[in-house]
Amino acid sequence: MFLRWLALGVLMVLPLCEPVAAGGTGFAEVPGDQGSLTLYVDNDRSLNIDSDYTSGIRLSWVSPELKHGAWSMFDQALGYLAGAQGRETWLGRLKGYGRGNALLRQRSFSFTHLMYTPFDEQATRPPPGQHPYAGWLGLGFGASVSGERSVSSADLMLGVIGPAAGGQEVQDTFHSIRNTTRFSGWDSQVPNEVTLNLYLNTKRKISWASRGRREGWGTDTIWHSGLAIGNFKTQATLGSMMRLGWNLPDEVRDMRLSESAQRQAGFLSTAVQADGLSAYAFLGVELRGVLHDAVLDGPLFSDFDTGVSKEPVIGDLYVGFALSYHGIDFGISHTFQSDRYKSQLKNDDYSSFYVSVRY
């Protein structure tokens, strides 16, 4: 409960302090951006226990800069939702793109696997009030657009929840490697259902909280908002992250795994960071209002009782550290999360890391 109200208080204040975007200054040219390949991993084994959200893995590829003419019709459709037309459309204005600003466009592909288990590893069915067994596997296609102080993305995710996602096989394999006990209740997991989700995300720099240019020591603050619509998850997200360190990179990166996490080009209001050493700590909060979660509510088109009732509002507090040097990026963090369902035995907390290579 404390985490939820802390996140809510911070998030209500920060966006209101951000000035309304004025007309753009224009750019003679858009600085090019490198492509990247990023591996994200979440796991709660740092706490020596598997329960609730127990692990996730995501491989995300983001292209170098694409000229508008290089986009396919599919790219253009997702790009429109990300605001690629700038202030010519209401979506571009909503996402904060200024009049006359140049925009940088990229496409992305991703592969994601998430896994959930109850606390009791020996029960053949989750005991009453404990998390249902579930696995989810997804393939994503996305487009992102970077402007002066706003970076937005639209991702279409096709996936499957249930035995077809291979949750049991993945967990059994890793437990065999580690020589630890296998969970006994995967036969009771959430049943198969094909999922289709659209994720819309926007990140904006908070002007008053960003200090100077990026060389040397500095701080900045970025707030983000998101909307997920589909039969895997339907939810709205609002969050903020502060960074403090040496040579803060211009890139806009999701520091933790999510269904749409990726590295994107930086804000175009600052010079592209050279390939030197960058090191910084970060602290973030996130609040989510959840209308539907197939893991906790069960498949949308099947009659399946998960045995739990989800919480409609979830708060996260996370802290971590990141390094970047000559095109290789690494970050590690820990997340403290409020209850996701009403009978949850303990708050979720788990560790995350990412490794990214730019090319």
pLDDT at 72: 78
Answer whether 38's CB lies under 8 Å from 255's CB.
no
pLDDT at 285: 97
pLDDT bin (cut points 50, 70, 90) of residue 268 is low
pLDDT at 213: 53
Tell me 69's DSSP state: G
Distances (CA, A) of 182 to 52, 121, 232: 15, 7, 27
Q: Which of 300, 301, 255 is nearest to 280 (CA)?
A: 255
Is the pLDDT assigned to residue 92 strictly greater than 90? no
Q: What percent of the chain has pLDDT over 90?
A: 47
Is the pLDDT assigned to residue 17 strictly greater than 50? no
Q: What percent of the chain has pLDDT over 70?
A: 79
Q: Which of 268, 270, 290, 272 is nearest to 339 (CA)?
A: 290
CB-side neighbour CA atoms (13 Å) of 3: 21
Q: Which of 203, 79, 221 is nearest to 150 (CA)?
A: 203
Quick one: 12 exposed, middle or buried, by C-beta within 10 A (0-12, 13-18, 19+)? exposed
Amino acid letter, 73: M
> Residue 47: helix, strand or coil by DSSP?
helix
Distance (Å, whole) CA 277 – CA 265: 18
Distance (Å, whole) CA 202 – CA 94: 10
Q: What is the CA radius of gyration of the chain?
A: 20
pLDDT bin (cut points 50, 70, 90) of residue 45 is low
Beta 349-358 vs 36-43: how paired, if at all? antiparallel
Query: Domain 2-15+33-358 class?
Result: mainly beta
Distance (Å, whole) CA 200 – CA 105: 15
Task: Looking at mean pLDDT, say which of 18-22, 172-176, 197-201 comes out highest.
Answer: 197-201
Answer whether 311's CB lies under 8 Å from 337's CB.
no
- Sorted by where each begins, the domain ranges of the chain are 2-15+33-358
The mean-pLDDT minimum among 109-113, 249-253, 277-281 falls in 249-253
pLDDT top residue among 14 and 270: 270
pLDDT top residue among 179 and 6: 179
pLDDT at 182: 84
Cβ neighbours for 258, distance < 8 A, ≥ 6 positions apart: none
Is the pLDDT assigned to residue 296 strictly greater than 50? yes
> Residue 187: helix, strand or coil by DSSP?
helix
Is the pLDDT assigned to residue 83 strictly greater than 90? no
Average pLDDT over residues 127-140: 94
Amino acid letter, 166: G
pLDDT at 23: 34
